Amino acid sequence: MNLGSILGDQMIMNQLIKFFSRISKDYMNKKKVIIIGGGTAGIVIANRLQEKFAVTVIEKSEYKAYPLLYRVPLMIGILFRRKNSEYIHKTEFDLANGRKIPFYQSNLLGGASVMNGAVHVFGFLSKWIPILKQFEFEVSDLNESHELLYSENKVVKNKITIKKAPLNYIDNSFLETLKSRGIALDNMSVSEKEACGPIFNTVRTFFRTSVLSVLGKKKFKTILNEKVERILFDENGYTKGVKTNRSTYNSDFVILSAGVMGSCSLLLQQQLDPNSLITDPKIGKEIQDHTNLRVNVFANHPLNSLNEVYASFWKKMILGIKHFLGIPTVMRGTGATSAAYLDLDKDGEIDTRIQILQFSESGRHGSKGSVFNTSEPSFSISINAIHPLSKGYVSFQDGKLKVDPKFLSTESDVTLLKLAIKYCIELLKSAPIRDHVKEIDQLDLMEKDPDKYIQDTMYSGHHLIGGLQNSITSDFELKNCKGLYVCDASVFDRFVASNIHSSVVLLADMFAKKFINKQG
């Protein structure tokens, strides 16, 4: 080896040392942020903060990803229907009539966004405005975040891609019947008036997109399979880090983004300590969830519903081949394809969303023990009362976490669902959709005793919000706790959309931008 080669190698080594030294120095000079929860909110916040802060995300879930097959939007249903799945945790809510209904939580990095965030709804601007005002945002901030994070162009990188669901003749008949009742076609993502049309899914050509899709060059640190047990404070009452079931981590700021159940339970547990700085009786109060209700329909001819497809190997094969050839099919979504926004109580505000599902089932996600309730040609109409008034709580009872949204504890919520059932029955008896209907399942019960039908068949919408909305400042800082912030579904005091995925994503990004402006 000659002298020139040695000197050249030495110069390269010196440059590398300087490069890594700059990176190390830059990292050490950054303030440290710990984000508790690597779900829908946490990943969005980490993505925004990582340029200005040394960010660590601590996520209790075990897995970084699931098999590629389940990234096909429709295939996620297989995980829900398994009795035991390492990728999903199942808990149960107790209803007032003694029924227990399932509630599913992700065991994956990315949380609900990668598990079930397939329907995109921007929501109602009229409902967003009070939220924006509460946190000192402008409508321009909301629009900026939406433009930054979402795209209808499947080739754009580092964005959540949204696509319209493909429609079949059941959808077209559904929309034509609505049109005959004065409901016009419009955008199902943003409509503020009675309207109908195809739904939007978070999907590219083959696979779903999620908050993980917004990540470009990932700079933040991720710690999986660790549960934060306590938030630590210094002698002056400032947040200084967290203690997990495995270690202790120091930081300048802590951001709590573990969702309604995770965020509320952590603060409630710590509040049990008589020396705790967290002493807010409002924590865990006024949580809400959408009630999920279905009207199942047996069709009078084959229509390639998921009930039929599931019962036939060849139909499964054909559907899969079409999907992976890039042909738009029901596999691009969750089985929901077209929808309508309705003002059923005629007070001038949209209160209900109904949508066509390309299947019928007994219990949401087959939770009554079967995947579908029949192999006959079937579809259903899903009912979602968008702005429920019923509110419940998260608490600890006998050392155990108790989550009770108090479904339908307000009479007006029950009344609205009864109006929705009546509307759907009338719709199914009207042309042209009636030409596809052989029988409406449990029609006699729905007409004679809709209250019983609702109580016997309703399930969770998996859209928990609230619990911490009254415990934070306009900067999202927990009151009386310096350096501890909360941003996830728990800070919403109302539903701004019929699906909360994009609501959480957008608020998380606006919070992160505000945090940088205040602390960066």
Q: What local confidence, expressed as pLDDT, does residue 2 receive?
A: 55
**198 and 343 in a common domain:** yes
Instruction: Indicate whether 156 pLDDT > 50.
Output: yes
Final residue in a domain of this structure, among 463, 480, 515: 463
The predicted-structure confidence for 437-474, as pLDDT tens digits, reads as follows: 999 999 999 999 999 999 999 999 999 999 999 999 99
Strands 400-404 and 392-397 come out as antiparallel
Confidence band for 397, pLDDT divided at 50, 70 and 90? confident
* Dist CA 182 CA 197 (whole Å): 13
Residue 367 lies in a domain: yes
**318 and 426 in a common domain:** yes
Known binding residue 119? Answer is: yes
Instruction: Indicate whether 7 pLDDT > 80.
Output: no
Instruction: Indicate whether 1 pLDDT > 60.
Output: no
Most confident of 360-364, 365-369, 504-508: 504-508
* Dist CA 378 CA 138 (whole Å): 45
- DSSP string covering 425-458, please? HHHHTSTTGGGGEEEETTHHHHHH-HHHHHHHH-
Q: Which helix (H) or strand (E) holds 132?
A: helix 125-134
pTM tops 0.75: yes
Residue 202 lies in a domain: yes
Residue 42 lies in a domain: no
Residue 189 lies in a domain: yes
**74 and 21 in a common domain:** no
Instruction: Indicate whether 149 pLDDT > 50.
Output: yes
The predicted-structure confidence for 474-483, as pLDDT tens digits, reads as follows: 999 999 899 9
Known binding residue 39? Answer is: no
Q: What local confidence, expressed as pLDDT, does residue 81 receive?
A: 72
Do 281 and 470 contact (CB within 8 A), yes or no? no
Confidence band for 28, pLDDT divided at 50, 70 and 90? low
Residue 87 lies in a domain: yes
Known binding residue 340? Answer is: no
> What is the pLDDT averaged over residues 125-146?
96
**90 and 180 in a common domain:** yes
Residue 104 lies in a domain: yes
Final residue in a domain of this structure, among 447, 463, 479: 463
* Dist CA 514 CA 519 (whole Å): 9
Amino acid identity of 412? S
The predicted-structure confidence for 249-304, as pLDDT tens digits, reads as follows: 999 999 999 999 999 999 999 998 888 889 899 999 999 999 999 999 999 999 99
**111 and 14 in a common domain:** no
Final residue in a domain of this structure, among 429, 463, 497: 463
Confidence band for 194, pLDDT divided at 50, 70 and 90? very high
**157 and 16 in a common domain:** no
* 120, two tokens: 């995109």
Q: What local confidence, expressed as pLDDT, does residue 19 receive?
A: 54
- Structure letter (DSSP) for residue 165: P
12-26, 149-163, 165-179, 420-434: which range is least confident on average? 12-26
* Structural domains in the chain (count): 2
Instruction: Indicate whether 82 pLDDT > 80.
Output: no
Instruction: Indicate whether 433 pLDDT > 90.
Output: yes
What's the angle, vertex CA 476, arms to CA 470 and CA 481, rounded to 5? 80
**159 and 106 in a common domain:** yes
**21 and 101 in a common domain:** no
**189 and 91 in a common domain:** yes
Confidence band for 191, pLDDT divided at 50, 70 and 90? confident
Do 73 and 2 contact (CB within 8 A), yes or no? no
Confidence band for 12, pLDDT divided at 50, 70 and 90? low
Which is more confidently placed, 58 or 363? 58
Confidence band for 364, pLDDT divided at 50, 70 and 90? low
Instruction: Indicate whether 32 pLDDT > 80.
Output: yes
Mean pLDDT for the chain overall: 91
Residue 56 lies in a domain: no
**114 and 4 in a common domain:** no
Instruction: Indicate whether 25 pLDDT > 60.
Output: no
Instruction: Indicate whether 510 pLDDT > 90.
Output: yes
CATH for 83: 3.30.560.10
φ, ψ dihedrals at 466, nearest 5°: 85, 180
**2 and 105 in a common domain:** no
Amino acid identity of 270? Q
**382 and 304 in a common domain:** yes
Known binding residue 165? Answer is: no
Q: What local confidence, expressed as pLDDT, does residue 3 receive?
A: 46
Known binding residue 117? Answer is: yes
Residue 259 lies in a domain: no
Domain coverage including residue 438: 68-120+153-211+289-391+401-463
* Dist CA 364 CA 474 (whole Å): 37
Name the one residue in this structure whose structure tokens are 């728990």: 490
* Cα separation values, 12 from 6, 7, 9, 84, Å: 10, 9, 5, 54
- Least Cα distance to 127 among 465, 515, 514, 482 occurs for 465
Cis before 432? omega within 30 = yes
The predicted-structure confidence for 436-447, as pLDDT tens digits, reads as follows: 999 999 999 999
